[in-house]
Amino acid sequence: MNLPIHLLLAIGLMVAAIALSSWQKLGLEGNLALATGRAIAQLVVLGYLIAVVFALNSPWGVLAFGGAMLVVVTIVTRNRISQKIPRLWLLVGGSILVSTAIPVGYAHFLIVQPEVWYAPQVLIPLVGIVLGNAMNAAAIAGERLVSTLNSSRLEIETHLSLGATPQQAVANYRRDAIRSGVLPTLNSMAIVGLATLPDVMSGQLLGGADPIQATAYQILILFMLAFSTLLTTVLLTHGLCRQFFTRSAQLLLW
């Protein structure tokens, strides 16, 4: 495969999209061009970084790469939720770290079982997939919970005045936030193989993998994502709820 030529041919699709936007007077030409440039630059840099990590074949390289991804995911998620809540970055980062380490460790050591525990060809893809989905779930659930609590002050204070604990006063709001964060993953699991062909499975098939083996890996990844997104939203919403109350159970607004 001649990579430069094929990359140029792939860019032709975006040139066609920009031309279509111009023809229909949608005003998206600048956004499409910027998105194209950013995607190429970011993915090329990522590709070279992963190549370096693969060449090093060292546990420190894998851990450093995973740590860098976690930092970026934490910053992006925090910015999507709020920048006013104190120590939100720590809450977000801790929730995503735990909800990524558990399913990745489970799959890595009990199911995949590579020859060396730090095998970058296994760990980096698994961590990247789980981190991305955990970030989306955390952002959706966190933003939903924060906005709902800030707009429901009267209802929450009414529950508190009637003797409810802070946990009881916000239980319904927290439950709705968790559901909203997990719902996209559940929806994708409900239609996978019927209306869609998963990205990971498609990539493996394009790479020449056996369809049955590709299916088995896709099932594993789906179950990892379901567990990770649920655990992320549970931990994050629990921590966020605690940030909205003082030790004397007084409601705070951010």
194: exposed, middle or buried (Cβ count in 10 Å: 0-12, 13-18, 19+): exposed
**pLDDT score recorded for residue 183:** 95
Higher pLDDT, 137 or 7: 137
What tokens appear for 104 in the block?
Answer: 């990745």
If DSSP states are collapsed to H, E and C, what string results for 9-36?
A: HHHHHHHHHHHHHHHCCCCCHHHHHHHH
- DSSP per-residue codes, 33-96: HHHHHHHHHHHHHHHHHHHHHHHH--HHHHHHHHHHHHHHHHHHHHHHH-SSSTTHHHHHHHHH
Average pLDDT over residues 131-151: 94
Q: Is the predicted pLDDT of residue 140 greater than 90, yes or no?
A: yes
pTM: 0.85
Q: Is the predicted pLDDT of residue 189 greater than 80, yes or no?
A: yes
What band does 72 get if pLDDT is binned at 50, 70 and 90? very high
Give residues with Cβ within 8 angstroms of 218, minimum separation 6. 192, 198, 200, 201, 204
Alpha-carbon Rg for the chain, nearest whole angstrom, is: 22
Average pLDDT over residues 215-235: 93
Average pLDDT over residues 48-72: 93
Q: What is the pLDDT of residues 5-54, one digit of tens each?
A: 878 888 999 999 999 999 998 899 999 999 999 999 999 899 999 999 99
Contact 1, 8 (CB under 8 A): no
**pLDDT score recorded for residue 185:** 92
